[in-house]
Amino acid sequence: MSVQHNRDPRYDILFEPVKIGPVTTKNRFYQVPHCNGLGYARPKSLAAMRGMKAEGGWGAICTEEVEIHPSSEISPYIEGRLWDHRDIPAHRLMTDAVHAHGALAGVELVHNGFHAPNRTSRLPPMAPSAMPVDAYDPVHARAMDLTDIRNLRKWYRTAAINARDAGYDIVYVYAGHCMTTLMHFMLSRFNHRSDHYGGSIENRVRLTREILEDVKDAVGDQCGIAFRFAVDELLGKEGMSSDGEAQDVVGMLAELPDLWDVNISGWSQDSSTARFEPIEGYQEKYTAFVKSMTTKPVVGVGRFTSADAMVSQIKRGVLDLIGAARPSIADPFLPNKIFEGRIDEIRECIGCNICVSGDNLCVPIRCTQNPTMGEEWRRNWHPEKIAPKVSEDAVLVVGSGPSGLECALQLANRGYQVTLAEAGTELGGRSTKESQLPGLASYARVRDYRTNLLQQKNNVEIYLDSELDETAILEFGFQHIFLATGSHWRKDGTGRHHHQPIPGLETIPTFTPDDLIAGQAPKGRVVIFDDDHYYMGGVLAEKLLAAGHSVSLVTPAVKVSAWTEFTLEQERIQAKLLNLGIEIITSQAVSAIKNGELELSCTYTGKTKYIAANALVLVTARNANDDLYQTLKSSPENLDAAGIKTLEVIGDAYSPGSLASAVYYGHLAARCFEGESWDAALFEGERPGLVS
C-alpha cells in the first residue's frame, strides 16, 4: 500500500537511498546509537521501541552500545550485550522489528576499557596503560599486553559474526565519547605505551585499524562497517581535536569503514542540552571536515528537528545521513511526517535530556515530549495511535499546562468532544512560563506542538481567561472533568531539608520562582536557597544576575543543581554559574533569619554562620493546586446532581514533578479514560519469575 504524501519537493533529497558498503538505507534518516535503560534487561521493550522508529520511517536504526565481553561491563547501567551466541535471540527481536518496516538495523559494538569498572563480572578492567578507572571505584585498569590485544581483536571479530547472525545490517567499531578502549588507545594522555601500539599517532591508531580490518574481513561482505569516532573533545591540544589529530585519524582510515559516524566528546557535549547548545546543527563546526577527507558516507548529529536544516546539511556537503538520537525519541515518526507533508505535526525535542536521565538512573527511557517512549511494549502505547472513544460523553479539561494540553489532545484524538478552560490569557502553563527563563526557550515546544494540533481540531473548544470554580464546573453539565490546575512553589522554606518553616522569614523580603517569573523584582543582594536540586535554582541565579543583582546560591547538596548530573548538565551548570560570578555555597542550608541576616547551617556538622542578604528566594518544594479538586470531591452528591460521572486530578495538581511527568500523567489519564486500567500494564512488565 503506498502512502499518500504531499511533500514539499525541497525535501525529496532526504528520501534518497544511501549505500553503506553492501547494504543500502532507504532514506537519509539515521537513528544513531543511543542508550535507553532497556538494554540487555528488557529485550522486548527494546525491540518494540526500536521497531516503532522503523515504523515511523527511519532508514536505519541502531542499538545502544553493546558490550562484546564481560571484561567490559558498566553495571549497574543497562546497555546492550553480545557476549556470545546465547545473546543472539534477544538481538533478533530487535532486528526483526526493524526489518519489518524496511529499515536497516545497526549494532554498536563496544569495549569500554578503563571506563568499565566491571562491578558485576569482577574482572580487572583493561587500558592501554595502567591507571585507575574513570569512576571513584577503588579499581585500577591494568595495561593490556599483546595477548590482551589479540583477545580484544578476537572478541570484536566474534561479536561481529554474532551480530551478523542476529540479523544486523550495520556493524560498528566504536571509538567515541572517551568511553572506549579504542579511543583510549588513540589518546596520548592515556596511551603511554612504548611498543608499536603507542607513541606516534600511527601507532595509537593501529589497534583501531586492525579491528576495523578484522570486522570487515569477518562480516564486511554482508554488513556495512560503521566507524563511530569523536573528532573533538573540546580540550584543545590536550585531546582529540578536529583541527589536530582527528584529521590524521580520518586521513589514515579514510576509506576503511563503509560509514563514518562522527560526533564530539564527552557525552555531555555530544548530547548537549538546549540550555547549553540552543541551535540545531551545533556539531557542524567540528565534524564538517570529515566529508572532505573520505568518499564514504558521513552521518552526524546536532538535535535536528527541522527539515530545512537537514536539507541544508546535505546540500552543503556537511553530512550524507541525518543522524538523530533525541529527535527520534521525541518523535519516532519524524521521517514519515516530513514524507507526508505534515511538518507542523513534528513533536520537536526540547533538548532537556530527561531521556538520558533514564539511562543514568538505570531505568527505562522516558521523554518529555513523547510520553509513549519506553512504553511501546509494556503499555502497548503507540505515539501516533490511540483507542477510539467508547461513549459520546463530553469532557472538560481545566488548566492548559503540559498535563492539561496532553490530556485534551489525546482525548480529542480519541474522538471525544473536549473543552479546555484556562484561567490565564496564554496556553501552556509552566511550559510557557519557564520558557522565559535563561536557556529554557525550547520548553515552549511542549506547548506549541500540542496547541497547534488542538487548534486544528473541530471537536475541541478552548477558552482562555476562564478561571473555573466549583459552581461553574457543576453548572456546565460535562460528564467528565479532568483538573490539571498545576502547582505553586512554597514560600515557607520547607522541602527536602526542612520539614518545618524556616523561622524569621517574615523579617526579610522573600520570593518564590513563581513570584520572579511573574515579574516581581527583589532589591539588592539576593540569596537563593535551592533545596530543589534541578534546574530552577540555577536559572533563577542567572536571571537575577542579568538583572544586576549580586547573587549567592545556597544548597544543602554538595554541588549545584545536583539532580542535573543525570541530564549531563551538572558540571556545565556549576562552571557557568562560577564563571558568571555567582557565589556558590554548598553543604549549607538557610536555617533561620536573625537580626536581618541569614543563618546558614552546615549539612554535616550543624555549625552555623551568618551572611547578609536583602532578599531571599526559596526554591524548595511545590504544593499541588488541588483545592478545586478537594472541594468538588468532598461533595459527591453535588457531582451526582450535576451529572458528573468522573472527576480526576492530573499532572502537577495531583503530584508536582517534572515537565515530563506532567505530560505523562496527562497522557495516561486520556488513555485510561473509559478504557485501560492505569496500573495493569505494570504487572505485565519484563520481570524475572520462576513460573514460565
| Nearest distance in Å: CB 277, ligand SF4 | 12
Strands ordered across the beta sheet of 597-602:
588-594, 597-602, 608-612
* Cα separation, 112 vs 574, whole angstroms: 28
Partner touching 302 among ligand ADP, ligand SF4, none, CB below 5 to 8 Å by kind: none
Provide the β-strand partners of residue 226: 172, 259
| Nearest distance in Å: CB 329, ligand SF4 | 4
Partner touching 43 among ligand ADP, ligand SF4, none, CB below 5 to 8 Å by kind: none
* Cα separation, 306 vs 316, whole angstroms: 16
- For 666, the enclosing helix (H) or strand (E) is helix 659-672
For the range 375-380, what are the long-range contacts, defined as Cβ-Cβ under 8 Å and sequence gap of 24 or more? Answer: 375/681, 376/45, 376/48, 376/49, 376/51, 376/52, 377/42, 377/44, 377/45, 377/47, 377/48, 377/49, 377/686, 378/45, 378/681, 378/682, 378/684, 378/685, 378/686, 379/671, 379/676, 379/681, 380/681
Partner touching 628 among ligand ADP, ligand SF4, none, CB below 5 to 8 Å by kind: ligand ADP
* Cα separation, 72 vs 49, whole angstroms: 25
* Closer CB to ligand ADP, 487 or 567, in the complex: 487
| Nearest distance in Å: CB 274, ligand SF4 | 8
Maximum distance among all Cα pairs of the chain, rounded to whole angstroms = 86
| DSSP conformation letters of 97-128 | HHHTTT-EEEEEEE--GGG---TTT-PPPEES
| Nearest distance in Å: CB 674, ligand ADP | 22
Only segment of 123-131, 156-164, 248-256, 346-354 that touches ligand SF4 (CB under 6 A): 346-354
| Nearest distance in Å: CB 561, ligand ADP | 20
**Would you give the DSSP letter of residue 680?**
H
The closest of 316, 317, 241, 305 to 279, measured between CA atoms, is: 305
Binding mask of the shown chain, residues 417 to 456, with x at each position contacting ligand ADP by CB under 6 A: ----xxxx----xx--------------------------
| Nearest distance in Å: CB 297, ligand SF4 | 25
Binding mask of the shown chain, residues 600 to 639, with x at each position contacting ligand ADP by CB under 6 A: -------------------------x--x-----------
Cell matching residue 83:
557476549
Q: Can you tell me which of 350, 395, 544, 644 binds ligand SF4, judged by CB under 6 A?
A: 350
| Contact criterion met (CB below 8 Å) for 501 and 589 | no
Size, binding site for ligand ADP by CB under 6 A? 26
| DSSP conformation letters of 217-244 | HHHTTTSEEEEEEEEE-SSGGGS--TTT
* Closer CB to ligand ADP, 197 or 629, in the complex: 629
Cell matching residue 673:
479514560
Binding to ligand SF4 (CB under 6 A): which residues in 166-195? none
The closest of 435, 419, 483, 449 to 665, measured between CA atoms, is: 483
* Closer CB to ligand SF4, 54 or 367, in the complex: 367
Only segment of 118-126, 140-148, 259-267, 326-334 that touches ligand SF4 (CB under 6 A): 326-334
**Cell 517574615 found at:** 506
Binding to ligand SF4 (CB under 6 A): which residues in 351-410? 351-355, 367-369
| Nearest distance in Å: CB 640, ligand ADP | 22
* Closer CB to ligand SF4, 354 or 408, in the complex: 354
* Closer CB to ligand ADP, 144 or 669, in the complex: 669
Binding mask of the shown chain, residues 350 to 389, with x at each position contacting ligand ADP by CB under 6 A: ----------------------------------------
* Closer CB to ligand SF4, 202 or 344, in the complex: 344
| Nearest distance in Å: CB 284, ligand SF4 | 19
| Nearest distance in Å: CB 528, ligand SF4 | 25
Binding to ligand SF4 (CB under 6 A): which residues in 196-255? none
Which residues, 6 or more positions from 291, have their beta carbon under 8 angstroms from its beta carbon? 298, 317, 318, 319, 320
Only segment of 156-164, 324-332, 415-423, 608-616 that touches ligand ADP (CB under 6 A): 415-423
| Contact criterion met (CB below 8 Å) for 264 and 234 | yes
Q: Can you tell me which of 358, 486, 513, 522 binds ligand ADP, judged by CB under 6 A?
A: 486
Only segment of 306-314, 344-352, 376-384, 459-467 that touches ligand SF4 (CB under 6 A): 344-352
Catalytic positions, please?
35, 174, 177, 270
Pinpoint the alpha helices (H) of 325-421: 326-330, 334-339, 354-360, 402-414
What number of residues does the chain have?
692
**Residue 330 in the binding site for ligand SF4 (CB under 6 A):** yes
Only segment of 226-234, 268-276, 478-486, 582-590 that touches ligand ADP (CB under 6 A): 478-486
| Nearest distance in Å: CB 542, ligand ADP | 21
* Closer CB to ligand SF4, 397 or 659, in the complex: 659
**Residue 652 in the binding site for ligand ADP (CB under 6 A):** yes
User: In this structure, what is the dihedral angle of CA atoms 394, 400, 403, 404, given to the nearest 10 degrees?
Assistant: 0
Burial class (CB in 10 A: 0-12, 13-18, 19+), 147: exposed
Which residues, 6 or more positions from 131, have their beta carbon under 8 angstroms from its beta carbon? 114, 140, 141, 190
Q: Residue 181 is which amino acid?
A: T
| DSSP conformation letters of 48-109 | HHHHHHHHTT-SEEEEEEEE-STTS--TTS--EE-SSGGGHHHHHHHHHHHHTTT-EEEEEE
Partner touching 351 among ligand SF4, ligand ADP, none, CB below 5 to 8 Å by kind: ligand SF4
* Closer CB to ligand ADP, 117 or 428, in the complex: 428
Only segment of 20-28, 70-78, 292-300, 401-409 that touches ligand ADP (CB under 6 A): 401-409
* Closer CB to ligand ADP, 202 or 426, in the complex: 426
Cell matching residue 686:
519484563
**Residue 653 in the binding site for ligand ADP (CB under 6 A):** yes
Footprint of ligand SF4 on this chain (CB under 6 A)?
A: 326, 329-330, 349-355, 367-369
Footprint of ligand ADP on this chain (CB under 6 A)?
A: 398-404, 421-424, 429-430, 466-468, 484-487, 625, 628, 651-653, 662
